[in-house]
Chains A and B, each alone.
Chain A
Amino acid sequence: MAGAGQPGAAGGAGPASGSGAEAVGYRRLVVPLLVPAWAVVGLFMVLPVALMVVYSFLTREFRGGVTWEFTLAAYDQFFVNRGLFGDEPPRLEWTYITIFWRSIWQAALATLLCLAIGFPTAWFIATRPRASRGVWLFLITIPYWVNLLIRTVSLRFILRDNGPLNEALLALGVISKPLGIINTDLAVQLGLFYSYLPFMVLPIYAAVERYDHRLSEAAADLHAGRWTILREIVIPAIRPGIVAGCILVFVPCLGAFLAPDLLGGARNFMIGSLIDEQFRGSQGNWPFGAACAVILMTMVLAVLIAQARAALRGAGR
């Protein structure tokens, strides 16, 4: 854990800067102070995740619950297809991979959309006079004082065929029949984009605010064009903000099920609704739900580790 590594490093620095007695006193103080943090991480992160991993290897009890017998049945169900009656030769099961793939590209598309709109927005805000930046940021956050469920339902009201959007466009003569956005993937995209845009804007804003604009001027003096400056100077400089924003949007979009259910019509499972289904119905399958969550978490971790390694390489350059 990152938290556990810190005090050791700090304690190790102690003897070099002061006397040994001071270092011991420091350690005596630091350990008890860290206990609450460790307890919180252990209780609310490590324990639930460990429980989920363990449950994914247990035997399903009919109508919810588990029996404590080790099995790989949940993972087998995810990856292996033996036909409806279980008597066909095993082959790769595409059902759940299809569901995961749908969630992944929806999340990736929403991330790109957020980046395309969020980056210029963040740039605009960060380049306003210092006094008015606060107001702009405040305006960005206002909608997020309202619960996500209510905002998603409201979006449904706006987008529906006889909602205000279609009625306004019809009245203006822009369209002759309703757009038919509701219950489509486009509506899901709009919902995800609207829900998670600030998570893109805020980290990029923080990076742009620290950006030294004299770098752009220097590049321009050296005859770099606008695109060259953006590509070679600006984006590398604010890259950590962009990466953070992309992760903050992509990860929650991957597990989202409010927007797909309420705006997309729930015609197809997403990862979130697939997992939900395993724990809700009387036919529930807890180990399979846990296995889906473990597979999802493994994928997210892989993305984060790849990003961290890329960042390390970038820093080493």
Chain B
Amino acid sequence: MKRLVALAALIATPAFAEGELKLYNWFEYIPQELLDKFEAETGIDVTMDTYDSNEALLAALKAGKLGQYDLAVPGDYMVRIMADEGLLDTIAEGELANRGNIDPQWLDVPFDPGRRHSIPYQWGSTAFAVNRDVYQGDISTLGIIFDPPEELRGRINVLDSQGEVLTLGSIYLGIPQCTQDRAQLKALSDMLMAAKAHWASFGSDIAKDVLVSGDAAAGMIYNGFAAKARAEGANVEYAFPREGYVVWMDNVVLLKDAPNRANALKFMDFLLEPENAAAVTNYAAYAPGVLGTEPFLDPAITEAPENNPPEGQKGFFIEACDEATQRLYDAIWTNLKK
């Protein structure tokens, strides 16, 4: 009898000894080798499901998937929303051994002050790129998009996304993102309506394509897309405007009612190891939020101008406004596109 139990334990060991981990992540956002490495190091069995937007993640968790997953990877504003909706667990002091590896600039972020629920995963920026064959002047201002020079008028693509357009517009005017001030909102709306006359198209999926093909001579774009456009041969330069630009960051969050909480914390620690954080960056081509990754990073990624904002230039996260304020911004956006 004893021998039989030992045998059963032996058979069961690889799969069940250390339990499992349920990860809910964006599609194509983590290399399989990294998951294999974690499984080999810890014996924990990782199961991953994927989603394709922050809104899809929120909807799935609200519709009853909470309690089935341990970790998810929401974007900045969605961390705030999920925390507000009570979907996140709190990481207690000292629970993460590698917390000290987090780059200090990403420690006290507005969407999760003090990093109580999340750790950084990847980050990037959203501004614009300009075709240097068409326009050789100074591009370090958001005026390129919102009050464009003669050469660029009628040849500008902007992202078909309310958050990015209204936030960059607010940064350009130097007004807060979630304001209820009538004069400021009116100024924002008027400025956008005037700028729209110079825009050829609204498109997010096509943002890179129109720059490569020459349909657009300037375009609002994510830094990773701009780097790809350059790699595809377009003579485009990504700008970090002096008024500021949008930064986004995806974060690993500990979900409420996580079935394997201890394993989830182990995986967070694993992702905070510089070598592992670098592996994600080399795969996703954005930037890690962890210190000490340099020796492990692909130089093509670290040296890309799109990943190196000039010293002193400021990035802003898109803020999640409250319902009453959001209504005003929805109205401005609808009015812009009516």
Chain A residues within CB distance 8 Å of chain B: 62-65, 84-85, 95-96, 98-99, 160-162, 182-183, 261-262, 265-269, 280-285
Q: In the complex, which of the residues A62, A266, A268, A285 has the most CB atoms of chain B within 10 Å of its own CB atom? A: A266
**Size bracket, chain B contacts:** 35 or more
Chain B residues within CB distance 8 Å of chain A: 54-55, 58-59, 62, 77-78, 81, 157, 160, 162, 182, 185, 196, 199-203, 206, 213-215, 320, 323, 326, 328-332, 334-335, 337-338
Question: Which residues of chain A are within 8 angstroms of B200 by Cβ–Cβ distance?
Answer: 183, 265, 267
Q: Kindly list 20 other residue pairs between chains A and B, CB separation below 8 angstroms, not including A267-B200, A283-B330.
A: A63-B58, A64-B59, A65-B62, A84-B332, A85-B182, A95-B334, A95-B335, A99-B338, A161-B214, A161-B215, A162-B215, A183-B200, A265-B203, A266-B202, A266-B203, A267-B199, A282-B58, A282-B78, A282-B81, A284-B55
Known: A63-B58, A269-B337, A281-B55. A160 touches B215 (CB 8 A): yes
Contact of A265 among B162, B202, B328, B330 (CB under 8 A): B202
Known: A95-B335, A268-B338. A63 touches B203 (CB 8 A): no
Q: Does B213 lie within 8 Å of A63, measured CB to CB?
A: no
Q: Is the interface of A mostly helix, strand, loop or mixed?
A: loop
* Alpha-carbon separation in the docked complex, A29 to B231 (Å): 68
Contact of B326 among A62, A261, A265, A266 (CB under 8 A): A62
Question: Closest approach, in angstroms, between the C-beta of A147 and any C-beta of chain B?
Answer: 16
Question: Closest approach, in angstroms, between the C-beta of A307 and any C-beta of chain B?
Answer: 30
Known: A62-B326, A280-B55. A269 touches B182 (CB 8 A): no
Q: Does B213 lie within 8 Å of A160, measured CB to CB?
A: yes
Question: Which residues of chain A are within 8 angstroms of B157 by Cβ–Cβ distance?
Answer: 265
**Nearest B-chain residue to A102, judged by Cβ:** B338
Contact of A63 among B81, B162, B185 (CB under 8 A): B81
**Nearest A-chain residue to B330, judged by Cβ:** A283
- 29 pairs, CB–CB < 8 Å, chain A vs chain B: A64-B58, A64-B59, A65-B59, A65-B62, A84-B182, A84-B328, A84-B332, A85-B182, A85-B328, A95-B334, A95-B335, A98-B338, A160-B213, A162-B213, A162-B215, A183-B201, A261-B160, A265-B201, A265-B202, A266-B203, A267-B199, A267-B201, A282-B54, A282-B55, A282-B58, A282-B77, A282-B81, A283-B326, A285-B330
